A and B are shown apart, each in its own frame.
Chain A
Amino acid sequence: MRAAGGAVGQAGAREGEAMTEQEKVVTRREVLRGLWRGAGLLGLAGLGGWLGARGRRQRLVWQIDPYKCTWCGKCATHCVLEPSAVKCVHAYAMCGYCKLCTGYYVPEPLALDTAAENQLCPTGAIRRTFVEDPYYEYGIDEALCIGCGKCGKGCTTFGNGSLFLQVRHDRCRNCNECAIAAACPSFAFVRAPAEEPYLLKTRFRAG
């Protein structure tokens, strides 16, 4: 291509033919350019058609398989969002409504009250409300939850496991590559269909 420049140089030295020669060379460049452009367009169309035809399946989003999660705490630290898009959720139907909740209280709490020093949650995101003796209900204040999973660990290790982590899709950016998934030590991050984006625990499966 650049050798053509040399040809122009030689031709240009001779004044008379210079113009016609140059025009011819420019035309050749234009033709080559057109050919490359056509090839590029064809390639793009082919790529788009091929991948497009293959890609017409359900849209997937990130989710945590709660039965694989080990509450390592990376959901709180590795999400690109601050605070994380991962939050604790509560499957109320699984909950024992315990007075001494091991997801709510630190081991050996000083008293079974709502004092901060007794709570496991570092941000106080679990709301404890009295229902009837001796049952208490535990709800999550998502604005405060940072997704550290401490409550899930306590609840699953000593209790029914009704508290667990889920990617909240009102917050998740559905990144190309989920930063938490890349760091998750137990490979608990999976892709779930966008129409059914949650993998909730149920009473009918232990774990």
Chain B
Amino acid sequence: MKQLHRVIVIAAALGVLTGPAEGAERFPPPDFEGGHQLPTTTTPLPRATALEYVDVAVLAGALALAAYLALRRRSRRGLFILTLFSLAYFGFWRRGCICSVGSVQNVALALFEPGYVLPASVLAFFVLPLAFALAFGRVFCAGVCPLGAIQDVVLVRPIQLPAWLEHALGLAPYAYLGLAVLLAATDVMFPICQYDPFVAFFRRSGEETLLVLGASFLVISLFVGRPYCRFLCPYGVLLRLASLVSWRRVTITPAECIRCRLCEQACPFGAIRAATGPAPRAPGRGDKVRLGLLLAAVPAALVLGGWLVSRLGGPLTRTEMVNLAAEEAVRAGRQSARITSGTAQPGDKQPVQTGDAGAVLRSRLQGGMWVLGGFVGLVIMGKLISLSVYRSRPDYEAERGHCMACGRCYATCPIELKRRSDRRRADPERGTRVP
């Protein structure tokens, strides 16, 4: 018994002496007599940074090609093939990540959170499609975006939605964009990525709810053209605004419009606007009064929207998600932490400050809710105003903001068909290859 005590004391002393050098292993690693070599722990590296720039180059190339095919070649077939390529590359090969739609959130976070490092490739994915939209319209939607592509290829029997539904649902993307920017800028979550309905298909794995959501979107896409793009896509809002002032645009006819109405039903996305005829209608007194009232109501809509959404936002700031983000913020002693937490090495002690960063996060969210509500109010008023004013439109045309440059309307235009047959006749060698 006494001997055992001595053994324990000696062992403890040895443990104390060797402790600092060897850690506190309960079972010291053995010295193998047979000279057994320890295997090494493998550390496979992430994808090389250079390959990210390959993605950017492919994006730029696809955008340029889409612009050429949509505006110059006027080739629906070419655009369709490009769509398939983009679906394969950005969708199934790159598994939906990196994407321009989600990059909105990174940019929002980078703008509001100086500690966040925005990868250069993500910035390129945000900027390039917008720059192309300013120049050529929504060519990104036409043949580059994998989310649009997966919906476009399953569109077999398009139906036209009633105008009121189209206009009402068309407001949703603005609200979604505002909410996504708010949640991303405060580092609570990235909702666009988390609720991306198609990324589960691209990855061929995902939650059941997301798979069901994606499948329902695809079923709707059989009949309603690109429901996600038109009624949810937050990046589409930015592209829509950019293409409103684009330098070049899709024109249904290559020359002059003869108002034959053949293209009227050609657009599955409801982007074709009918000609108003050569003699525009004079606005009556009622029109002017209505416009005046709507303009006067804009400030009220801003305040009302802000108030309503800030009331709705109360429950949001109490959700588990925000609690977790706030807890992390408090623990790390900064305004946001999950995404921005730096290159912590084991052993680093996180500075824990007493300042209540969680309360800061909550008040930021609450303030953001006011801005979001005001923004939504402004968008609704803008929609009402644009609906209430008359605009003369001598020709049938694709509405700048809504046209996704898919090229489906070209082949319905008799002028375009004549141009194609003329070209074929002039150059018979090319035969049926002419788009």
Binding site for B on A (CB under 8 A): 2-3, 5-6, 8-10, 12-13, 33-34, 36-37, 40-41, 44, 47-48, 51-52, 54-61, 65-67, 80-82, 89-98, 131-132, 135, 137, 139, 158-160, 168-170, 172-177, 179, 181-182, 187, 189-194, 197-206
Contacts and interface: CB of A to CB of B under 8 A. Distances in A.
A131 B131 contact: no
B247 interface: yes
Size category of the binding interface on chain B = 35 or more
Interface string B277-290: 00111110001100
A54 B118 contact: yes
A199 B344 CA distance: 9
Interface stretch (B104-112, B254-262, B402-410): B104-112
Contacts of B24: 206
B25 A160 contact: yes
B343 A191 contact: yes
Contact of A67 (B331, B346, B391): B346
Contacts of A168: 44
A12 B243 CA distance: 28
A174 B46 contact: yes
Contacts of A206: 23-24
Contacts of A89: 41-42
14 contacts: A5-B392, A6-B283, A37-B247, A40-B130, A51-B123, A96-B25, A131-B32, A160-B26, A169-B47, A187-B328, A187-B332, A191-B344, A203-B22, A203-B23
Given A60-B117, A177-B105, A204-B22, 16 more contacts: A2-B385, A2-B389, A2-B391, A9-B283, A40-B134, A41-B134, A55-B120, A80-B206, A82-B206, A89-B41, A93-B38, A135-B36, A179-B194, A182-B189, A191-B340, A206-B24
A8 B279 CA distance: 10
A192 B391 contact: no
Contact of B29 (A82, A96, A199): A96
Contacts of B49: 59, 194
B40 interface: yes
A172 B97 CA distance: 11
Given A12-B392, A40-B134, A197 B46 contact: yes
Task: With a 10 A CB-CB cut-off, give which of A6, A61, A169, A206 has the most chain B CB atoms.
Answer: A6
Nearest to A6: B283
A95 B95 contact: no
Contacts, number: 217
B95 A44 contact: no
A190 B281 contact: no
A72 to B, nearest CB: 13
B120 A56 contact: yes
B428 to A, nearest CB: 40
B118 A204 contact: no
A13 B47 CA distance: 66
A135 B30 contact: yes
Given A173-B95, A182-B324, A60 B246 contact: no
B45 interface: yes
Contacts of A10: 282-283
A41 B102 CA distance: 21
B282 A82 contact: no
Nearest to A13: B282
Given A41-B134, A60-B117, A182-B324, A6 B389 contact: yes
A56 B346 CA distance: 25
Contacts of A51: 107, 110-111, 118, 123
A198 to B, nearest CB: 5
B372 to A, nearest CB: 20
Contact of A194 (B46, B102, B282): B46
Contacts of A159: 26-27
B43 interface: yes
Interface string B333-346: 00001111111111
Interface in B127-146: 127, 130-131, 134
Nearest to A173: B97
Nearest to B36: A131
A206 B134 CA distance: 58
B280 A12 contact: yes
Contacts of B38: 92-93
B203 interface: yes
B203 A66 contact: no
A38 B105 CA distance: 24
A55 B123 contact: yes
Contact of B106 (A40, A96, A176, A182): A176
A193 B44 CA distance: 14
A101 to B, nearest CB: 9
